[in-house]
Amino acid sequence: MVTTFEELIARDERIEPRDEMPEGYRKTLIRQIAQHAHSEIIGMQPEGSWITRAPSLKRKAILLAKVQDEAGHGLYLYGAAETLGVSREELLDALHEGRQRYSSIFNYPTPTWADVGAIGWLVDGAAIVNQVPLCRCSYGPYARAMVRICKEESFHQRQGFELLYTLAHGTPEQRRMAQEAVDRWYWPSLMMFGPPDAESTHSARSMAWKIKRHSNDELRQRFVDMIVPQAEVLGLTLPDPDLRWNPERGHYDYGPIDWEEFKRVLAGDGPCNAERMAHRRKAHEDGAWVREAAEAYASKAAGKGGRAAA
């Protein structure tokens, strides 16, 4: 007998592309992987704008390599989504037409160089906490993409931390820049884990399908516990007056999150939603003639008996 989807899930085995799977499982994965891929691509913008202004050649090389990795991660993820029977063109169209989302965190601006550091430390830090459990996700191609991504991302968080550490121990102006950036990114990074468990619409089903392994609040707590001691090493404060160690819980307590702001940014009313989308659409449209030329060249070469002219 053919092993069923439910049996494979129960035995904690991976589902692979040509296996039978419930339509809901497939749709949930497409939505999640696509959103993840779009986030990598849109996420290049806030930091990418600093590559041409990086204050030293070493920092320039690091940032360039980092933003390049994000493009690469987007590609790994689009590839994983394509194994579910949807094409990259369809996914990019859905992004460009606003039918699919990307992480709201990238709708915040990066006014100073220190924001590059805060993104690396807090945003990539939160992403890693979210992503490590996805390496064991039940869908094989997604899990494998995440293994590769997590391996590559470990340098992203470190470069951010090191960048901030250098600023925090630099001139008074550099120090102020670092503190202000941390003040800007702390709350949005906590929101990256999604709404509280009680209000999370897709959580329960995703947990049952082993797409998701931990709840939003569990991961958020893990992140807070991780960054509080790191902030102390940086010598910077986190802008949360309620942050304190709770010996009974064995965790840090943190203050209430402004979910109204989260919903506003999610709904498209964040500081940079419109500009991020306009940038992405323009890049895609400006590149259309290049893609058409390469396509035309390939079909002409194929017409000559499949021999590429080069």
Of residues 128-157, which lie at the interface with other proteins (CB under 8 A)? 144-145, 148, 152
Stretch that binds other proteins, among 24-32, 188-196, 228-236, 286-294 (CB under 8 A): 286-294
Q: Check binding of 289 to other proteins (CB under 8 A).
A: yes
Tokens at 186, concatenated: 């702390």
Q: Which residue lies nearer to other proteins by CB, 87 or 246?
A: 87
Residue 212: name the closest of 115, 133, 113 by CA: 133
- Angle at alpha carbon of residue 34, lines to 257 and 275, rounded to 5°: 65
Cβ atoms of 94 and 100 within 8 Å: the answer is yes
Q: Which residues inside 51-70 make contact with other proteins, applying CB under 8 A?
A: 51-61, 64-65, 67-69
Residue 110: name the closest of 46, 189, 157 by CA: 46
Q: Which residues inside 10-49 make contact with other proteins, applying CB under 8 A?
A: 16, 18-20, 41, 44-45, 48-49
* Binding-residue total with other proteins (CB under 8 A): 74
Stretch that binds other proteins, among 103-111, 180-188, 226-234, 283-291 (CB under 8 A): 283-291
Stretch that binds other proteins, among 80-88, 132-140, 212-220, 236-244 (CB under 8 A): 80-88
Taking the C-alpha atoms of residue 233 and residue 227, their distance in angstroms, rounded to an integer, is 10
- Shortest distance, CB of residue 297 to other proteins, whole angstroms? 4
- Shortest distance, CB of residue 14 to other proteins, whole angstroms? 12
The residue type of 11 is: R
- Shortest distance, CB of residue 82 to other proteins, whole angstroms? 7
Q: Check binding of 72 to other proteins (CB under 8 A).
A: yes
Q: Check binding of 274 to other proteins (CB under 8 A).
A: no
Residue 4: name the closest of 20, 18, 17, 16 by CA: 20
Neighbours of 28 (CB within 10 A): 18
Q: Binding other proteins by CB under 8 A: which of 111, 229, 271, 287? A: 287
Q: Which residue lies nearer to other proteins by CB, 204 or 298?
A: 298
Q: Check binding of 85 to other proteins (CB under 8 A).
A: no
Taking the C-alpha atoms of residue 13 and residue 50, their distance in angstroms, rounded to an integer, is 43
Q: Which residue lies nearer to other proteins by CB, 43 or 194?
A: 43
Tokens at 74, concatenated: 């987007």
Q: Where are the alpha helices (DSSP H) in the chain?
A: 5-10, 23-42, 44-48, 57-82, 88-96, 114-118, 124-131, 140-168, 172-191, 203-208, 216-234, 259-264, 273-286, 288-303
Site string for other proteins, 161-200 (x = CB under 8 A): --x--x---xx-xx--------------------------
- Shortest distance, CB of residue 221 to other proteins, whole angstroms? 32
